Structure 1
Amino acid sequence: MMIHVRRAEISDAAQLQRVFASTGTYSGTLQLPHPSLEMWQERLEKTDPKDTRLVAIYDGVVVGSASLHLEKAQRRQHVASLGMGVADAFSGRGVGSALLTELLHISDNWLNVLRVELTVFCDNAAAIHLYRKFGFDMEGTMRAHAFRNGEFVDSYAMARLHPRQAMVPTQKQT
């Protein structure tokens, strides 16, 4: 399967709406069911130029999306948060790996980001496996982090330090 990754464009709104309307996609993210086309058009139109939003294309169709959002606070400008979603029919077929490969290449080599962080639902074993494969470490559990399908669910906080900077000293515990 040949996947092409490129920057998201406003014209991708309808296809992104379809991706995030997938039950597994909105259940695995903080999105709501039945996203509107208008919401996706506005989201793409108002993307901060400092952020990076990519789409994965298979056979001319958007099958996934991932983004890096750079922190605005001066003391956290070395940090970006990551969000990602893959259409249900393409889960487990390399879309997430293709998106993460490109996002982390940009993060490591062009944006001078030291730390990429994310949250993932504790029951999303496939995503956790993918993030671990790309060097993300578990940093903690956030209890009752989100409301999903009628109940509160826990999430893990995960992060990855730039591979060449991973030796940054950690604060001593007292």
Structure 2
Amino acid sequence: MDYTIRPVEPGDAPGIAALRRMPGVFENTLGLPSCRTADSAAFLASLGPNDHNFVAAAEDGTIIAAAGLQVCSNPRMRHVGSIGLFVHTDYQNQGVGTALMKAILDLADNWLMLVRVELEVFADNERAIRLYEKFGFEKEGLLRMTTVRCGQYADEYKMARLRPAVGYAVKPSV
């Protein structure tokens, strides 16, 4: 399977909207099945300098996955970024998510010098949790009843990957 990972473009809005409302994808994101192309176009148009979004595009141009990294804008938290990732159901378990994670984390580590990268994932999304753990993410806590999904409240894990920087103040043990 051949695909290209590249930064998002305004013309990606229809493909991203199709992914965001795809059964098997939207249930594990904060998307809705009513996501409109105009919503995705507005999102892409609103991206600022702290937003770094990529897509995986098949040879025919079909958007098969998307990922984003948002760097915290608060000056005291410029070392922190949060990520989101979703993959077309036909391309799950084929390495596309792994490739996007590598691209996002390369940017975070080698260009933005982020120390903390965090995310939230549904507690029952075992495939995604395994992917994140493969990249050094650890569960930091269970967030209970955070989101409505399929008519029920769902729990999420807060996960993060830390790369301590020079000057990291370790809290002394008591």
TM-score by length of 1: 0.93
Is 1:9 the counterpart of 2:9? The answer is yes
User: Can you list the C-alpha shifts for 1:2-47, whole angstroms capped at 9, x where unaligned?
Assistant: 2310000000000111111111211111111121010000000111
Q: Percent identity?
A: 35
Q: Report Cα offsets for 1:66-118 as digits up to 9, x if no partner.
A: 00011111211110000111111111111110100001001100011110000
- Higher RCO (Cα < 8 Å, 6 or more apart): 1
Instruction: Give secondary structure in 1 for the equivalent of 2:25.
Output: helix
Aligned ranges 1:22-37 → 2 under 5 Å: 22-37=22-37
SS at match of 1:118: strand
Task: Give the secondary structure class of the aligned counterpart of 1:48.
Answer: coil
Superposed CA RMSD in Å reads 1.8
- Matched positions, count: 173
TM-score (norm 2): 0.93
TM superposition outliers: structure 1 runs of 4+ over 2 Å: 164-174
5 Å-filtered alignment, 1:79-90, equals: 79-90=80-91
Question: Taking structure 1 as reference, are residues 137 and 169 closer, same or farther at Cα in structure 2, changes over 3 Å only?
Answer: farther
Q: Are the equivalent residues in 2 in contact too, given 1:6–1:55 (CA < 8 A)? A: yes
Residue 106 (structure 2) pairs with residue 102 (structure 1): no
Amino acid at match of 1:8: V
CA shift for structure 1 position 49? 2.3
Aligned to 1:144: 145
1:166 and 1:94, CA in 2 relative to 1: closer, same or farther beyond 3 A? farther
Counterpart code for 2:73: K
Secondary structure of the 1:102 match is: helix
Alignment check: 8 A CA contact 2:117 2:162 kept: yes
